Structure 1
Amino acid sequence: MTDITDDPNISPSSGPGEVTEPLRRAIGERYLTYALSTIMHRALPDARDGLKPVHRRILYAMRELKLASNGGFRKSAKISGDVMGNYHPHGDAAIYDAMARLAQDFAVRYPLVDGQGNFGNIDGDNPAASRYTEARMTAAAEALLEGLSENAVDFRENYDGTLTEPIVLPASFPNLLANGSSGIAVGMATNIPPHNIAELCDACLHLIKVPDARDDTLINYVPGPDFPTGGVIVEPRESMLETYRTGRGAFRLRSKWEIEELGRGQWQIIVTEIPYQVQKSKLIEKLAELIQSKRIPILADVRDESAEDIRLVLEPKSKNVVPEVLMNTLFRQSDLELRFSLNMNVLIDGRTPKVCSLKEVLRAFLDHRREVLQRRSQHRLEKIDHRLEVLEGYIVAFLNLDRVIEIIRYEDEPKAVMIAEFDLSDVQAEAILNMRLRSLRKLEELELKRELDVLLLEREGLAELLADEGLQWNRISEQLRETKKKFGKDYEGGARRTQFAEAAVVEDVPIEAMIEREPITVVCSKMGWVRAMKGHIALETTELKFKDGDEGRFAFHAETTDRLLVLGTNGRFYTVPASNLPGGRGMGEPLRLMVDLPNDADLVDLFIHVPGRKLLVASSAGDGFVVPEDDVMAQTRTGKQVLNVRNEVRAQVCRPIDGDSVACVGENRKVLIFPLDELPEMTRGKGVRLQKYKDGGLSDATTFTLADGLSWLDPAGRTRTETALVEWTGKRAGTGRMAPRGFPRNNKFT
C-alpha cells in the first residue's frame, strides 16, 4: 500500500494524521464526488425500471410492510419513517413528498401508491401531513416488484450495512416511459413525459420481432405522450419523430375545450382538460389577470365550476366573437397551451448517464427483462434441483421403510448410517429425519412420484429456456402481452387520455371586428385621466366634471371598435383600444396605467387612428417629418419610438396631413409657409429643419391647401382665412415673417 506522503502534490502537516493538498484539487475531487452522487443517486432515473433511488426504496419498504394492493392501508408516517430509518437517510418530509406524488393521479399516469386521505389536488394544494394519510401499493407497483424474491436482481447493503436493498426492480413494464420522470442533476437534467402502457408494450413486441427497427417505425406504436390530465397534442408528426429519434425536443400540448350553447345565439366555452403540470388555480388567476388588464378584450369572464372533473367556463364579451380566434388568443397568452420539453437523459445500467432515443430506452428495458427472466429461471431451476434431490431421498426411504425406521430407532448416529447404507446425500438424509410420521402412508408415495415427474418436466423446460435465446424472447413477449391485457383499456384509466390534432390555422381576425360596436365619447383631462362615456354626448352643452385642480383637454366622439393613438412628449406613440377605456361613471383612470408613459413625459395629442392617413410630427426644436399613421401603431404597452428627441427637446406637434403646404409658427411669432413635398416621409428619426430660430423654438405647425388659404381663430373666436400668403411663403428652414395681424396670442393655428 502506497503511503499518502509519497504523492508529490500532498505534503504532511504538522499535526498527526493530517495532510495538506492544493485547494484546487481538494475542491475538485469533493465536488466531483457530489456531482456523481447527485447524478446517480438522486436526480436521474434508471432506464431499466424508470425509478430514482427514493421511489425504489419507498416501494421496497412498502413491500416489506406487506402493503399489497388488496390488503390494508398503513399510516404514511410509518411508511416514510421505515424508508428513512432503513434505506434512505434523508428528511422524512422529502420522502413523504415523493411518496405523495406517486399517489397523485393527476401527476402520475399509473399511480404506484394507493393513497387514502388528502394527497393534494390539481389546484396545487399540498397533501395533508403524513400522520393523517394512509397508503398501500397499487397493482402497477406490484408489477414492478414481481420476481424480487426470486433472485431477479442484485441487492446491496443499505447505508449502515444492517439490511439489503435492491439495486433495481424487476419491472414488468417500461415504467420510465409509462410514468415519465423529471430531475435536475449537476450539469445535466432529465424530463420525460408519461406514455400509455399498452402502446409501449406493442412497441416492445415489435422491437423483439424486429431488433433493428427504426424510431420511424416505433412511433407508429407510440404516437406520442399520454398525459394523466389528458389534453390535445398539436405537435406535427415530423417534429415528434425527430424528438424521439434524438431524445430531445418538445410537444405542444393544448387544453381540451368545447362550445356550450346557451340559446338565443349565446354561447360559452367549456375547458374540460388542462395541460400536464399546470395548476388549475394559477391558470384561472392568469386568465383573470388578462381580463383585468384588458389584454384580451373579447373575453368577459372566467369561472371555475369544477367538481371531481375539470370545468372552466370562459364567457366571451359578445356573441359575435369567433370561438376559435378567442381560444387561439388564449393559447398564445396563457397556460391553456404549453410546450412540454423532452430530454431523455437516463442512467444506462444504473451507471452511465446518456441521452437516449425511444428505441434505446425500450432496448434497455427489454435487455433488463431478459436478464430478469434468466435469473428467475435459474433460481427456479436451483429450487427444483434441491426439491428433486429431496424427493429422491423420500422415495428411497419409502422403498426401504422398515430398515429406515429400524435405523432411526436403534442407531446412535442414524444420519451417518443412512448415508452409508443407502448412498444418500446429507440433504436427503436430513430431509428423511425431519419427515413426519403421517407422511409414511402409501398415498404419499404416489404423490411424491407424481410431483417428481412434474418437476422433471418443468426442469426440462427451464433448461431449454435458458439454452435458447429465441425461447427467452418468446416468453418475454408472452409476459408483455399479459401486461398489456392487465393495464390496457380494461384497466381503470388505462385507455389513452391525450388526443392528437392538427393546430388549425385560424386567420387572425382583428379584435375590433369581434367587439360590440357602440358609440362612446372619449374624455381626457389635462392631467391624463381618461374615460369613455356611453353614447355621443353633446360636447358643447354638456358640463364635464374633473378632479380638483384638473381640467378638460381632449373630448371627441368615437366607437368601441376604434383604436386611439397617443403621442407623448418623449416622441413615442402608444396605442389604446377604445374598448379598454374605463367607463364614464367616475373620473376615469390615469392613461399612464394603460401604457408605459414615463412620469417625466406629457401628452402631446390623443386622437382616433385612421388607417392610410399620414401625420406631420415635429419637435420643439423645429425638426419634423411626415410619417404614415399605420407605421406608428404600437403592439405593446411600451409604445413605439417615432420622433427622436434628446436633452430638453420634446415632441411638440402631431397633425393629420390635409393639403399641399406646411405652415409653421415659432415662439418668436414668425410664420413660415413652404410646400409639403419639401418634407421627407420617414418611419422614425429626428427629421429635417422646418423653421430656423435664433431664440426659442417651434410653437405650432399645420398643413393646408395653399389655394384655399390659411385659417385660424382670432381672439374673438371667429375663423379668419388669409389667402394672400406670398409674404410668408419661402423655402423650408427659413426664418419666416412676423404673423399676420389678428393671429392668436397663443401662437396656435387651432
Structure 2
Amino acid sequence: MTEIDDDTSPDQPRSTTEPLRRALGSRYLQYALSTIMHRALPDARDGLKPVHRRILFAMRELKLASNGRFRKSSKISGDVMGNYHPHGDTAIYDAMARLAQDFNVRYPLVDGQGNFGNIDGDNPAASRYTEARLTAAAEALLEGLNEDAVDFRDNYDGTLQEPVVLPAAFPNLLANGSSGIAVGMATNIPPHNIDELVAASLHLIKTPDARDETLLNYVPGPDFPTGGIIVEPKENILKAYETGRGSFRLRCKWEVEDLGRGTWQIVITEIPYQVAKSKLIEKIAEIIQLKKVPLLADVRDESADDIRLILEPRSKNVDPEMLMGMMFRNSDLEIRFSLNMNVLIDGVTPKVCSLKEVLRAFLDHRRDVLQRRSRYRLAQIDKRLEVLEGYIIAFLNLDRVIQIIRTEDDPKAVMLAEDWGGGVFLNDNQVEAILNMRLRSLRRLEEMELRKERDDLRAEREGLVELLGSDDLQWARISDELKEVRKQFGKKTELGARRTQFAEATEIEDVPLEMMIDREPITVVCSKMGWVRAMKGHLALDTALKFKDGDEGRFVFHAETTDRLLVLGTNGRFYTISAANLPGGRGMGEPLRLMVDLPNEAEIVDMFIHKPGRKLLIASSAGDGFIAPEDDIVAQTRSGKQVLNVKDDVRAKICKPVDGDHVAVVGENRKVLVFAIEELPEMSRGKGVRLQKYKDGGLSDATTFTLANGLAWKDPAGRTRTETDLGEWIGKRATAGRMAPRGFPRDNTFT
C-alpha cells in the first residue's frame, strides 16, 4: 500500500491509501501518455513534434524571416526554453541544429550560418558560435497563424500562448520524415519528395477512394536527402505503404572510373541516408584488414563539398559488379531503412497509418485551416465594412460632423444620438473610427476610395460565404494552394528535384571466390603446433622448411589462392579458411587459432582443400562415424560448424574422402573389419553409428576402398601391399572383426 498526502486544504491535511500496483500503474500511464503525445510521436497534420513546433514558433516570434537577419542560436534556444519548452538547452539546440542539416532533413526548416555539423558525423559548434533563421519551407508551415488557422493553448506556465499544431502548407510528415521511440511504440518515417506528395494529394482530392496502389504511381518511394538508390521490389514498397510497416533497401550510388591501361577504381558519389561517412570508411578499412573482401586493396576519402569515396581493387581483372556486391553485403554501402508510420491522428490518437491515411489526415487538416482562415477573414471584412459605412456617412454629412466635434463637449454621445437621415444611426465602433480619423483624410478623393474598398470587400465577402458553403469550392481552393507549393518546392526547383533513384537489385548471394581472387599457385604449410602459412608457387613437398624451435611440419600440400581449406578439430567442428587469407611464407606464419575459433584444448585432426560434391568418412576415437556431404560442412563464420558430436574423452579422429564401395576399420586391438559402405548413414551432423565393436581401446584408423581392387597398406619396409582375399575380414558393421593380416603395420594405420 502507498500513502498519498492530499494538501488541498492546508488547515486539515489528510491522507488516503491505495494499492502500490494501482498507484504505480496510474503514474506510469501518465508518463507513457506524456512521452507518446508530447515528445516522441509526430502529429500527422504538420509532421512535427512539440519541440520542433516550438522552435519554429519562437523563431517566428523573433521575426527571423527567410529573407531577414540571422540571430544567435543561443538566443533562439534560450527563448524556446524560457517561453515554451522547459527542458535542457542542449536538447533544444540539437533539435534545431538537425532541422538545419541538409544531409538529415530533405527540406531544411532552419537556415543555419556557421558549423551545424557534417555528414562525417561531426557535431555542430556550440550555440554561441552559430546563427539561424527560418527557411521558406518553415514559413510555409507557419503561414496563417495570425488568421486563427489553428488552436492556441497556454504555455507551460500560463504566461504565453503557443499553437497546438501548425497550419502546414505541405505534408511535412512525409516530406521530411520523422523518427522517435516512445513507451511501447516507435515511429520511423523516411523523407519523400514534395512534388510527388502534392501530386498524390491532388489525385486524392479528385478521387477520395483512391487505392494505395494508384498513389504509388505518384509516390514511388522515399526521396532521401543524401540520394542513393532504392533496390526494394515494387510489391514490397506497395505492401509497406498499405500497412504502414516495412523496409527499403538503400544502396550507395557508384560508378567505375577508368584510369587507363586497363586499370580502374570505383567512385562512390552518394552514400545511404543517416550513415556517417567517417564510420563508413572505418568499417571498410576493417573489412580490408580482416580480408573479408580479399580483392579490395584500399579506400580513400577524396570528398570536398560533395561525396567522393574511392575503392581501389587489388586486381584489375575482377568484375566491379561482383566487388560492389560483396561490399553491399559486408558494409553500410547498403542499408535497410525501416518504415513504421506510427503517428498521432488529430494530435491525440497514436495509430500506424497507411500512405493514404497520412495524406488524408493532412488534407482534412488543410480543409480545417481553410475554413478557419475564411471565417476569420469574414469577421475582419464585416468589421471593416462596418467602419467603412460609418466613414461614408461621415463624408456625406461632413459639415455636421465637423460642427459636432468643434462645438460639443461630448461629441461621441451626440453623434451616437444623431439621426443621419432616413433613420440611420452610427454605432459605437463607427463613431470611434470617425473621431480617430486624421484630418488629411478629409478630402473628396478619399470618399471614392472608401466606396471602392467597400464594394471590393462586399465582393470578397460574397466569395467567402460561397466558399464556406461549398465543399467543391473548398477542395478547389486547397488544390490551388497545393499547386502554389508545387511551384515553390517542386521538381523544377533545385531543392525539389528527386535525389534518390530506383533500380533492380543485382543479387550476388553466392559469389564464387575464384571470381574475386587472382588464381595463383601456393603451397600450404601447417606445423604440428598449428602455425600456418602459404608459400608462393608449388614447391616440392619434400622441401626442407624452417619451423619454430620445438615445432615440426605436419601438413604440406599444393593449393591455389582461390581454394577454400577445411580444418577438422578434435572437438568435432569443421572450420573454413580462404587460401587467399593465409599469411605469406616469409616468416613462420600465424597460429591457426587466430584465424578461427579453435579452442586451446582442441587439436587439428586434418586439413585439406574443399572439393564441392565430395563425401567424407568421419569417425571418432570411440569408433562412431558416418558419411557427410562435404558441401554441408563448410562453415561461414570463425566459430566453424559442429559436425561430429563428441563428449567426455571422445575425440574426432578420422576424416577421409569416400572412394570405393567398402569401409575398412582397424582398432587399437589390431582387429580389422571390412563392411559395405551402404551400412553407414549419410548425415550433416550427429554422433554417427558404431563402426566396430571393442572390448577395450578404441578406433585406430579407417579408410574406404573398392573391394574388387583389394585393400592396400604399407608394410614395415615401406612397400605397398595389397590384399584381395578379404573374405576372412568381411562382416557386418559394429562387429569385432579379425586380427590384422600378416605384415600389417604395427601403428595400426592403413597409410
TM-score strictly above 0.5:
yes
Relative distance call for 1:391 and 1:712 in structure 2 (3 A) is same
- 1:225–1:498 Cα contact (<8 Å) kept: yes
Partners of 1:473 and 1:661 in 2: CA distance: 85
The reply to whether residue 31 of structure 1 matches residue 32 of structure 2 is no
> Aligned match of 2:389 in 384, 388, 392?
392
3-state SS of the aligned residue for 2:255?
strand
- Equivalent position amino acid for 1:426 in 2: D
- Out of 488-497 and 52-61, give the one that drifted further: 488-497
- Where structure 2 has 5 or more consecutive residues not aligned to the other structure, the ranges are none
* Alpha-carbon displacement from aligned partner over 1:492-519 (angstroms, at most 9, x marks no partner): 3210111112223558441223321101
The reply to whether residue 237 of structure 1 matches residue 238 of structure 2 is no
- Equivalent position amino acid for 1:597 in 2: L
Relative distance call for 1:439 and 1:584 in structure 2 (3 A) is same
3-state SS of the aligned residue for 1:532?
strand
Partners of 2:235 and 2:472 in 1: CA distance: 34
Superposition deviation, residue 387 in structure 1: 1.8
The reply to whether residue 697 of structure 1 matches residue 694 of structure 2 is no
3-state SS of the aligned residue for 1:388?
helix
Relative distance call for 1:269 and 1:408 in structure 2 (3 A) is same
- Where structure 1 has 5 or more consecutive residues not aligned to the other structure, the ranges are none
Superposition deviation, residue 637 in structure 1: 2.6
- 2:534–2:582 Cα contact (<8 Å) kept: yes
- Equivalent position amino acid for 2:529 in 1: M
- Out of 149-158 and 681-690, give the one that drifted further: 681-690
- 1:189–1:343 Cα contact (<8 Å) kept: yes
- Out of 703-712 and 313-322, give the one that drifted further: 703-712
- 1:595–1:639 Cα contact (<8 Å) kept: yes
- Out of 655-664 and 353-362, give the one that drifted further: 655-664
> Aligned match of 2:401 in 395, 401, 404?
404
> Aligned match of 2:161 in 159, 164, 180?
164
Aligned counterpart, 2:630:
629
- Equivalent position amino acid for 1:698 in 2: L
Aligned counterpart, 2:345:
348
- Out of 697-706 and 82-91, give the one that drifted further: 697-706
Relative distance call for 1:692 and 1:374 in structure 2 (3 A) is closer
Partners of 1:221 and 1:599 in 2: CA distance: 61
- 1:707–1:723 Cα contact (<8 Å) kept: no
The equivalences for 1:49-88 within 5 A come to 49-88=46-85
Relative distance call for 1:611 and 1:491 in structure 2 (3 A) is closer
The equivalences for 1:732-743 within 5 A come to 732-736=733-737
3-state SS of the aligned residue for 1:270?
strand
- Out of 653-662 and 154-163, give the one that drifted further: 653-662
- Equivalent position amino acid for 1:75 in 2: K
- 2:625–2:689 Cα contact (<8 Å) kept: yes
Aligned counterpart, 1:487:
489
Superposition deviation, residue 633 in structure 1: 2.4
> Aligned match of 2:535 in 528, 533, 543?
533
Partners of 2:392 and 2:686 in 1: CA distance: 108
- Equivalent position amino acid for 2:587 in 1: G
- Equivalent position amino acid for 1:565 in 2: L
Relative distance call for 1:595 and 1:506 in structure 2 (3 A) is closer
Aligned counterpart, 1:548:
549
The reply to whether residue 300 of structure 1 matches residue 302 of structure 2 is no
* Alpha-carbon displacement from aligned partner over 1:202-260 (angstroms, at most 9, x marks no partner): 11111112222222222211111111111112222222222222222222222222222
Relative distance call for 1:707 and 1:412 in structure 2 (3 A) is closer
Superposition deviation, residue 165 in structure 1: 0.4
Aligned counterpart, 1:719:
719
- Equivalent position amino acid for 2:351 in 1: K
Aligned counterpart, 1:576:
577
Aligned counterpart, 2:206:
209
Partners of 2:37 and 2:395 in 1: CA distance: 57
CA RMSD of aligned residues (A): 2.6
- 1:709–1:721 Cα contact (<8 Å) kept: no
- 1:566–1:575 Cα contact (<8 Å) kept: yes
- Equivalent position amino acid for 1:261 in 2: D
Partners of 2:46 and 2:629 in 1: CA distance: 64
Partners of 2:504 and 2:404 in 1: CA distance: 85
* Alpha-carbon displacement from aligned partner over 1:564-598 (angstroms, at most 9, x marks no partner): 11111112222212112111222222212222222
> Aligned match of 2:256 in 255, 259, 265?
259
Partners of 2:657 and 2:207 in 1: CA distance: 73
Aligned counterpart, 2:686:
685
The reply to whether residue 116 of structure 1 matches residue 113 of structure 2 is yes
Superposition deviation, residue 641 in structure 1: 2.6
Superposition deviation, residue 674 in structure 1: 1.5
Partners of 1:577 and 1:487 in 2: CA distance: 53
- Out of 656-665 and 150-159, give the one that drifted further: 656-665
Partners of 1:288 and 1:141 in 2: CA distance: 40
Aligned counterpart, 2:468:
466
The equivalences for 1:485-524 within 5 A come to 485-505=487-507, 508-524=510-526
- 1:727–1:737 Cα contact (<8 Å) kept: no
Superposition deviation, residue 659 in structure 1: 4.7
* Alpha-carbon displacement from aligned partner over 1:283-331 (angstroms, at most 9, x marks no partner): 2222222332222223333322222111222233333322222223332
Superposition deviation, residue 729 in structure 1: 2.6
Superposition deviation, residue 726 in structure 1: 5.4
* Alpha-carbon displacement from aligned partner over 1:67-109 (angstroms, at most 9, x marks no partner): 1111111111111110000000111111111111111111111
Relative distance call for 1:234 and 1:660 in structure 2 (3 A) is closer
Partners of 2:203 and 2:566 in 1: CA distance: 63
- Equivalent position amino acid for 2:632 in 1: D
Partners of 1:639 and 1:728 in 2: CA distance: 41
- 2:93–2:127 Cα contact (<8 Å) kept: yes
Relative distance call for 1:39 and 1:705 in structure 2 (3 A) is closer
- Out of 359-368 and 651-660, give the one that drifted further: 651-660
The reply to whether residue 455 of structure 1 matches residue 463 of structure 2 is no
- 1:661–1:673 Cα contact (<8 Å) kept: no
3-state SS of the aligned residue for 1:173?
coil
Relative distance call for 1:151 and 1:262 in structure 2 (3 A) is same
Aligned counterpart, 1:674:
674
* Alpha-carbon displacement from aligned partner over 1:171-192 (angstroms, at most 9, x marks no partner): 1111111111111112222111
3-state SS of the aligned residue for 2:446?
helix
- 2:711–2:724 Cα contact (<8 Å) kept: no
- 2:615–2:629 Cα contact (<8 Å) kept: yes
Aligned counterpart, 1:335:
332
Relative distance call for 1:561 and 1:406 in structure 2 (3 A) is same
- 1:672–1:728 Cα contact (<8 Å) kept: no
- 1:47–1:348 Cα contact (<8 Å) kept: yes
- Out of 160-169 and 371-380, give the one that drifted further: 371-380
Relative distance call for 1:139 and 1:724 in structure 2 (3 A) is closer
Percentage of matched positions with identical amino acids: 77
Partners of 1:682 and 1:400 in 2: CA distance: 115
- Equivalent position amino acid for 1:446 in 2: M
> Aligned match of 1:311 in 299, 302, 308?
308
* Alpha-carbon displacement from aligned partner over 1:689-721 (angstroms, at most 9, x marks no partner): 3333333222223344566665555566x3342
Partners of 1:622 and 1:521 in 2: CA distance: 33
- 1:663–1:671 Cα contact (<8 Å) kept: no
Superposition deviation, residue 605 in structure 1: 0.6
- 2:189–2:341 Cα contact (<8 Å) kept: yes
Superposition deviation, residue 743 in structure 1: 5.2
3-state SS of the aligned residue for 1:131?
helix
Relative distance call for 1:25 and 1:677 in structure 2 (3 A) is closer
3-state SS of the aligned residue for 1:18?
strand
